Each structure stands twice: as structure tokens, then as C-alpha cells.
Structure 1
Amino acid sequence: MAHSGRRIVVALTALLTVAAGLPGTPASAAHPSTAVPARAGAPDPERWSVDLAVAGGDDVNVAWRSGRLRLADPRPSARTRPAAVGGPVAEGILLSAPRVLDRPATRVRARLTARTGDGGTAVAQVRGWRARGWTEWRDAAEAVFDEPVRRVQARVVLTTRDAASEATVTGLTLAADSAATTAVQPAAPLTYRVYATRIGLVGGTTANGHTVRARDHFAALPSRRGLSPRGTGDYTVKVCTTSGSRCEYAPVWDVGPWNTRDDWWNPSSIRENWKDLPRGRPEAQAAYQSNYNGGLDQFGRTVRNPAGLDLADGTFWDGLRLTDNAWVDVTLLWTGGGARAVVGSGPLNLRAGAGTSYASRGLAATYAQVPVQCYVTGQKITGTYRTTTRWYRLVGGTYVSHAYLSSIYGGTVPRC
């Protein structure tokens, strides 16, 4: 087959200004900010190359063959595309090991050497670690650090629309240094009301490579910017019924519904696509309700519901006890600060008090990172990690036993 659309992309260099996971806040709750000046006479950037030949357990549908990183299977199918999207593309992700920097950095530059054509794409993305967790992922062309980070992780995302498409990468180098930026102090995480649908698709594969199980517990957002690596809850959402009677903390493990480049929670200055839409309004909702984009999603499909969030069956049925698609309140927890506990064994009941005799108000999925407010002494529990009488009160007033929490980070937790 002729490849008239093929092109070579060599040494594609871009400034990565990776946002610190804080998309900002509505005007009614603006954060104070302070300038972080660039250091005079700053040393040369720290440089390193990403090893593209190593494909580990965190990588999805990629292979290193003949000196190139490529999709192991370039044909769109239930195994090669995000389960929540079902779009007409196959995709794969190579996730690098995090690099501990010699000195804190606020800027990273990437140099990607790739070959794409006939509808194939190759994108490099990075994120940085600071005390309260990982920043959001950012594409090389539009990234930002709003405070110094000490670790940097890269990933390469490849997509093809059929077996004739080409998307291969032969090199990725990064350079970290410091530049003038504006530090934004974290406040309460962002919360929006959006329409949620049920994923289903048991046996399908999520964007991070997880195989969907019966009554699974995770969520999907229509952007890879908040996509957690498999087996982590780096990006966790709190999803509640509009009455507030039931909630679940769930890791974001898939991309969708409808779109894959619609970080609808970000302001227009950061949002990947659909920058003219109001912040907090998913493109699918605008297309369905107002015929935005001619009523189509990014793939040209007619949008048949206003969903901006997908929920796995266990989250949908057991966590929220929904019986049909519904409007929900979703909090994007990485957009705020404060101490977080990692649920090591779940789904874990969210109790109304510090004991199992109290009513369950919802669930926290395995790997979810839940916001911890303070701790109390309650019922003695023997769990996966320890035997303890310590219970943590979460932001919002529910309680979880320390016996099932694998770690806590991001701040000191006081007694209630």
C-alpha cells in the first residue's frame, strides 16, 4: 500500500511546562500565588535519554522491534483501544521509570524522534512529583511546572487508525532546569456536576492496560492528563450521588467517554481541545445538549448522551447504587492539597463513624487515594496491613480504618 501521507518527524523539540496537577480554580475561589524566580547563573540543564527498548508491566500494547518503539498490535479492537471510548483507533503507552533529579526543576524540554503517517500519531508527555503528589500529564507542546519538582516521569503515547498507519519512535531525550514561574497554593479540589455512564465491557482493556473485571471499581475521564498508571491511584476521583447519600473514591484507569483529549475541568488556557467551552462542561455534554461541534465527538461520531465520566460496574452499582446513567458530583482530588491515604485493600467501606456498626456511606476502591482530615480512636480492626484502633476521618465526614491503608503522604494528620 502506498504511504503518501507518511512523514518523518525528527528532533521534535518542545518546552514542557508541566502543570502541577492544579488546573486552577473558579474565580470565586482563586488561589494566592507567588512568583518563583529563575536563579541567576543557573547551571546547565540535567539531561537524560528514555530507554525505549524496555517494555515492563506498566506498558500497554507497545513493542521494541528493529530499533523502533511501535504498537504491538496497530489494529483497533477491544484489546487495543480504551474500553470507555471504543473509538476507531488503537493505542499504546510506554511508561518510563521516574527519574530522581540531581536538583529541583521547574522546566523540562523534550526531544522526540518519531516517524508517523496515514493517521498515526506519536506524543511525548511528562509529569513531575512534589510533596502533594504527581502533577497532571502534559503534552510536550503545552506543558508547565508551577513549583519545583524532584522527580520526572515520561511516557510515549502511540495511536494508529488501522494496520496501514505508522507511529514509531526511535529516541526521546529530556532536559530539566529552572525557569521563572508562578507557584499556585493548593486549595479545595475542584468539584463539578457531570453526567455519568456505566462502562461495562468486562474483559476489555482500559487505557492503562487493566483488564476490566466483573463489578470492577475505577473511573474514566475523557483525557489522558489524569490517567493513572496501572495499579495506582495517582489520579483519584470522588464520585457522589447528587443527594450526597453515597460516594466512591475511584482511581482513573481509563480514557473516555466519547473523547480522549477533553480535560473539561481545566481552564481554556490549559484545556487540550474545545477551548471555547465553559470550564467544567464536557464536550459531549455540549454536543448533546447544544449541538456543539455539529453534535459530534472528536472522532466524528454522533454523541448520544452528555456523559463526561464513565464508571466501572462496581463503582456504579455497589459504590453509588445507581440503577441507570445519572448526574453525579465528581471531585478531582489531585487538584487540591492535604494529606492522602492510599487504600491498599478494597473496596473499603466508608463508615459514618469509627466502627463497623456505623452505616456504610459508600466505598473506596483499591489504590484510591483518599483525603485524610484527622484521626480518632475507634473499634479495633485487624486488616490487611495491621491491627489498630486508629480510624481516619476523611474530608466530607466519613471514616476508614487504618488497618486497610498502605501508606499516607502529603502532610501531618492531627488527632480530631
Structure 2
Amino acid sequence: MRITRTAQLAACLVATAAIFTAALPSNAEPTNPVAVAAQPVAGSSNVKVDGSRIILGDAPAAFGSTKIKQRSGLAELSPVHFAVPTSAVVVGYTTGTPDGSSAEVDVRSWLNDRWSEWTAAAAGTPTALAGASDQVQVRIIVSAPPTGANPWVGDVTVQPTDKAAAPRMSVQAAPLKSHVFATREGLVGGTTANGHVIVSRDHFVALPSRRGLSGSGSGTYSVKVCTASRCAFEPVWDVGPWNTKDDYWNPSATREMWKDLAQGKPEAQAAYQNGYNGGKDEFGRTVANPAGIDLADGVFWDALKLADNGFVDVTYLWTGDGGRGTVSISSGYLNVRNAPNSTGAVVGMAGKSAQVTVECQTTGESVTGSQGTSNVWLRVNAGMYVAKAWISAASFATC
């Protein structure tokens, strides 16, 4: 049979279209979900591995910022890479939660060179990401009463899907800034929600939702806390005060709970000032102050020079774009000064691993630090500078 030139061309076009279509990015669910190895990475705490299961570890119960005594463990698993971006995923897993224990599985995505917030992922149900991404990570949180149960999560898988609702709110042009009541956490010797053991004059903060909880030793989620004259840059290492599902920095529609409250207003503040929720927190306790953030002692006394609990301005750095750097020190804090030299007055502090905002850079005193020797200083707030020798960061425009 003779094949005409037209038929040959048509067949070629069909074959080409089939190849091209196969190469197109797609959110269609793959035949086989990607198995996630039960191997906790850096940032994990108080968990152990048994085959494909992550199990609560053996550390004793300790008070956290919520003042509720429990045993808890956190495991961040290795990120999963997809061939093409997806706007939603289905996370599969099994759990065991005996005797009043609990297990939570969260997922986050890599967007614009940074991690999004964590979002709870129900097993086998599509979970929307903050935006289309080709890299996601799973986190497991297991909690139990002071004695007894050892909850676990196992057989974790992840697969892209196109069946989720609209994506969660993605990163904004500018991070949210809120005027909230701050309290001193104290609790030296206690253990935070990410497994950090609190030391004297410590540097970290607590916020009332795990969505913005950094892993142990990490500053992925950091805040800038300011009074009229001083600022502190600190990692979020604990959950509280009062609530554990009050991500009040998010738009009302995407908050975990209390969706009828305005963005930026903590539930505890509404309960204390306006009798919201009968004046109680999510655990039914009567709210005794309007706190929306807890400050470790070093932040409270040394960085901000606070003498009592009170209102401060808090910027939730991961919620927006802008220049960033990471404090690269082995312990303690970095002084923030009012001039680009080591004789400038101390007007704040930045804790280990915290992110700092960077407005611009200028030339000042030469300093030797973890990043080498440099005479570059970074302006992190109006009239506030840190030496770039101690900050892991790119170059920025000149002030």
C-alpha cells in the first residue's frame, strides 16, 4: 500500500504531539506514590526508628510554653523531589496513638528559595501547598502523657495531585507585622516543642502554632521583635503561649482555628480583652493575659531590656519577601549596634541561627567571624547594624 506524503506528515505530527504531551508538566497522580524513608534529618528530636515507623523517644515529660506537661518528639524527613512542580500532594501514612497520645503529619514546600509554613496533612487526602513546587518535606510530631503510650507514624508516602482546593496563602510582598502582648517564658531546664533544653538567658521565642515552628537548632522560622528603641531577631523554638493552633499571622480564611478573628490578632488577646470563646483558650483554660508571644529570658531581659510583660511589635519574617541573612554563631547571641563598628551602642541582639532582615550594607570596622574577615556591616533596621562577618548572606545594595 502506498503512503502519501500527507499521510506521512500527519503520522509524524501525531507522534511528535504524543512525545510533547508526555513531556509536559502535569499534576496527575503517579501510579506509585514516592516512599519517604523513616530517617529523621537535622532538626529532629526525641524520636526513634523501628523499620518504617517513627516512634516517640524516651525523653521525660517537660513543660513547654503552653505550661502543659507532656512527652513529645519531632521528626523532619528528607525532602522529596518531583520531576515537575505540583500545587498539591497526597501524603499517605499509618499511625498508632494509644492511651491518649497523638500523632500529626505536616508538609511544606520549597518556594522562592525558602520553605513555606508547615500544613497539617490528613492521610490519603489532598493537601494544598502554598504554591507550585517540585520539592516538599514531611514532618512528624508525636505526643503523649507523661507516662505510658508511645505513639508512632509509619509507611509515609507522598504523591502529587491536581485534586486539592485552592493553594494556601503564599509569601506576601512584605512580612506581616503585628502589635502583640509579650510575656517572659522562663522555664530554665525545661524542653521546648522542638526539643531544645532551655538555658539561662536563652535566645528564642514561642508562637501559638506549630505551623511556624523551626526544627532544633534551625532559624527557618524567625521573628523580629521590637520596642520603641531596641530590636531582637530570634528563632521560633517553642509553641505557646496559651494555644497551639492559633497561627494568627495568617489571613483569617487560612487560620487553623478562630477563623472569625482578624489577621494579626491572637486568640488569647481576643479572649482576654473581649471575652472571645468565653474568655478561654483552646484547652478550656481561662486566659489570664492577652499574650501572643513568649520571649526567652535573654530576649526579654537582655535584647529588649523589658522590665515587665507588655506590648511589642513582631514581624514574622517567613511570611514575606525581602533581604535575609542567617546568624552564624555556635552559641549565644550577636550584638546589634547603632553604628557599623564594635564601639557602637548595643541596641538589640540576634540569637543563634536566627534570620535577620537586611535593608542594605555599608562599610565599617573590619571584623573577623565565622564567615571570614570583612569590613561590611548590614543594616537590619533603621539605625541598627550587625557585622557581616557573623552573618551567612549574599551581597546587598549599598546604604
- Relative to the length of structure 2, the TM-score reads 0.84
The reply to whether residue 69 of structure 1 matches residue 54 of structure 2 is yes
Paired position in structure 1 for 2:45: 60
Deviation, structure 1 residue 377: 1.3
SS of alignment partner, residue 300 of structure 2: helix
Give the aligned length: 368
Deviation, structure 1 residue 289: 2.0
The reply to whether residue 122 of structure 1 matches residue 122 of structure 2 is no
SS of alignment partner, residue 144 of structure 1: strand
Paired position in structure 1 for 2:221: 235
Paired position in structure 2 for 1:250: 234
**Pairing partner for 1:155 from 127, 139, 146:** 139
SS of alignment partner, residue 141 of structure 2: strand
Q: 1:56 to 1:337 in 2, by over 3 A?
A: closer
Deviation, structure 1 residue 294: 2.4
Paired position in structure 2 for 1:207: 193
| Unmatched 5+ stretches in structure 1 | 1-38
Give CA deviations for 1:95-126 in whole Å, capped at 9, x if unaligned.
11223433333222111211335433222101
Q: In 1, Cα distance between the equivalents of 2:144 and 2:27?
A: 41
395-404 or 181-190: bigger deviation: 181-190
Q: In 2, Cα distance between the equivalents of 1:177 and 1:396?
A: 45
Higher helix share: 2
Higher radius of gyration, 1 or 2: 2
| 2:86–2:161 Cα contact (<8 Å) kept | yes
- Determine what percentage of the aligned residue pairs are the same residue: 45
| Unmatched 5+ stretches in structure 2 | 1-23
| 2:26–2:84 Cα contact (<8 Å) kept | no
**Pairing partner for 1:223 from 209, 216, 233:** 209
Amino acid at match of 2:88: R
Q: In 1, Cα distance between the equivalents of 2:155 and 2:25?
A: 32
Deviation, structure 1 residue 378: 1.2
Q: In 1, Cα distance between the equivalents of 2:369 and 2:69?
A: 44
Kindly report which structure 2 residues correspond to 1:15-414, keeping only aligned pairs within 5 A, or say none: 44-45=29-30, 47-52=33-38, 54-55=39-40, 58-65=43-50, 68-73=53-58, 77-78=61-62, 83-141=64-122, 143-161=127-145, 163=147, 167-176=151-160, 186-241=172-227, 244-345=228-329, 347-408=333-394, 413-414=396-397
383-392 or 175-184: bigger deviation: 175-184
Deviation, structure 1 residue 390: 1.0
- Relative to the length of structure 1, the TM-score reads 0.81
Q: In 2, Cα distance between the equivalents of 1:398 and 1:143?
A: 41
Q: 1:57 to 1:393 in 2, by over 3 A?
A: closer
307-316 or 59-68: bigger deviation: 59-68
| 2:37–2:52 Cα contact (<8 Å) kept | no
Paired position in structure 2 for 1:20: none
Deviation, structure 1 residue 87: 1.4
SS of alignment partner, residue 389 of structure 2: helix
SS of alignment partner, residue 213 of structure 1: coil
Amino acid at match of 1:87: I
Give CA deviations for 1:200-246 in whole Å, capped at 9, x if unaligned.
111111111111111010000010000011111100100011xx201
Amino acid at match of 2:108: R
Q: 1:390 to 1:40 in 2, by over 3 A?
A: closer
Deviation, structure 1 residue 381: 1.3
Deviation, structure 1 residue 72: 2.4
Give CA deviations for 1:345-395 in whole Å, capped at 9, x if unaligned.
252222222212322221111111112122111111122321111111224
| 2:223–2:316 Cα contact (<8 Å) kept | yes
Q: In 2, Cα distance between the equivalents of 1:162 and 1:201?
A: 17
Amino acid at match of 1:216: D
124-133 or 320-329: bigger deviation: 124-133
Q: In 2, Cα distance between the equivalents of 1:184 and 1:68?
A: 32
Deviation, structure 1 residue 309: 0.3
251-260 or 286-295: bigger deviation: 286-295
Q: In 1, Cα distance between the equivalents of 2:174 and 2:154?
A: 42
Give CA deviations for 1:311-350 in whole Å, capped at 9, x if unaligned.
0000001100011111111000111102211110252222
Kindly indicate whether structure 1 or structure 2 has the higher relative contact order, using CA contacts under 8 Å at least 6 residues apart.
1
Amino acid at match of 1:194: V
Q: In 2, Cα distance between the equivalents of 1:358 and 1:102?
A: 50
Paired position in structure 2 for 1:4: none
The reply to whether residue 415 of structure 1 matches residue 398 of structure 2 is yes
Amino acid at match of 2:117: E
99-108 or 341-350: bigger deviation: 99-108
